[in-house]
Structure 1
Amino acid sequence: MTQTINLDEINDETDALRVAVSQLEAGKVVVVPVEVGVLVLALPSQLGAASRLTEIAKAVPEAIPVVAMAHRSVIDDYADNLSTLVYKLSRRCWPGPVALRVGGGQPEGFSADWSGDAREWALNASGRVFAIPRSNFSNTLLKRLSTPALGLVIPQTELERLDAGWADLIFSSREEVYEEGLTVVDVDGQNYQLERAGAVTKLSFSRLTGEVYVFVCTGNTCRSPMAEALFRNMLAQQMQCADDELLDRGYTVISAGLAAYPGSPASPEAVALLKEQGIDMSSHESRPVTEELLFHSDHIITMTQNHRDAILNAFPELAGKTRLLSDSGKDVSDPIGAGVEEYEICRNEIEGYLRLLLDQQSST
């Protein structure tokens, strides 16, 4: 008999999570809400788990087999020779309504030790499909498991097709869902194609694969905003497009400050200087540097060595994409409070370094 637990009626989910884990470890099928419908789970270590999910999938043609994980780092244990594009997309898409098909056409990593049909779950000649749900309960449950789970993503509207007793434990919720469903992307090296359109459109996904430049200073009101605005203008000129078309061309250019207070405008001197070049900075609002921003970026460009050191002291793994704006190692001094002439010197210095940067990027 199927047991149903309404998560909306629970204040503390601790007991519910414990029950879910024990049911899965006992070889049962557990259903949890996710942002694209429901996720039907079973453990690969349990004999017959994949066969049972396969029978469910036969009744719901729209069901999407996935391997459900709690964190993107786990993928390294279950797929070999992953490209830099896979890692970029995993940072930007997970957790969320996107699944990635990666790896080869054979069981790889620890999945080669799975038993029976589990070894072939969500696998075809192009690789295996992996997903990380954003929904809090589902993600927390996956974190409590010792292994990724075999999963089926099913639209809520299709559940009525299933017979009574198709699952052992169902967690329900009024959580809002993306009606378009799960987006599945096949990643092959540095190339990708949408295997299934869903909540993330083709245009939105192309933006996710683009290059993200982040210019960093201290307060994000003088140096880094000027660098952001100047570089965006240079890119647009090089690509012969409008500034607001850069995102669709695969480029995101932003700035942030290590000690920035959110929402502050750019300094009046910086706004006036760039206005002379036809660049409008009047709408700039400062933002602080965050871990998420740094890890989602492809190029972190700092105004001083101290800025770079501060970032790398906190996140040494970002060394490969964090650099000083100046190739010569010279700091760009902060002009704040020093007068218009110092701002002009700073602007000219930044502009010169940016032209070198753009030339370097164009030649790679």
Structure 2
Amino acid sequence: MARIVKIDPDKPQEETIEEAARIIKDGGLVALPTETVYGLGTNALNEEAIRKIFEIKGRPPSKPLSILIGRKEDLKQYVQEISETAQTLIEKFWPGPLTLIFKTSSLMPDTMKSENNSIGIRLPDCRIALEIVKASGVPLACPSANLSGKPSPTKASQVAKDLGEKIDLLLDGGETKIRIESTVLDLTTSPPTILREGALKREEIEEVIGKVLKGKTILLVCTGNSCRSPMAEGFLKEMLKGKKETKINSCGTIFSSFGGPTPQAIEIMKEYEINISSHKTKSLSKDLIGEADLILIMERKHRERVRELNPEAENKTFLLKEFAGDQENLEIRDPIGLSDEVYKEVAEEIKSALQKALPSILEYLGK
């Protein structure tokens, strides 16, 4: 179990800050409070440390990490340019719960960059976090301190439960002030696009810089989230590659003991040159339903579970093959426990349905 140290959020103990900074600079992992949620911090310039974060969180490498900086003036080291729009937002909302996405400079390692060479950066409004960044002398890679797919922690006890055996130090600064993630705004699009609406609301941003776009979320649902929906997620991400304003997620209506995709699903998707091995199974929840703009299900019974959790979501829930325009045989069977040949047939059926549905998906999300 990691050493847990109490820390005063208003007057952080200098020796504790120095210890945390030393661990981070050396590539260790420190869980620390910010004003939003607890983060898992390490040296963003250390590729081995970054890989450790992905590994222990079970986070797909396709979901890049953002960084925390300690001063506004540090930003210019890590980005290619700071636009007038960015400067306006920084003056209004930093320090605070707004992560801004920029084109990254050559200083950041490849493990920290997204596919389009961008990175998320935030100046937190939390004395503990700020002092650790300044003392370490490096930017902090700092995703939420939870296992991928689980709620972001607002208390040290939640971090200890998920990650206590896997990190070097846990700083207990009490419950976080805001208790919700930062808003993520992509400045590499025009107009800027909200990829995640968190503590800072869209209206507050638009009051300052005018119209922004809102990223859309597609949720793919099957029974156990171990074969059909992860395969569909993999296919759709490949089809929508480059449309980073669209978030694609998947889940199951019941808890799956697999923890990830079945071995057959992983092997079948390799044949399409799509890697889903890092996927972590998730159960359908009110939060996932609420975040989704479009829900695509494999069988009619999945609609019933969506309706149980959120009756208002029925008007955004469709059978995948129904959305593809098919008139009969609208359900996609569950291959769990069946032969490799059945898995291949189901994968091809999902791929074909998504290809046919893609124009309708894009039209629907454009509403």
With the length of structure 2 as denominator, give the TM-score of the two structures: 0.49
TM-score by length of 1: 0.50
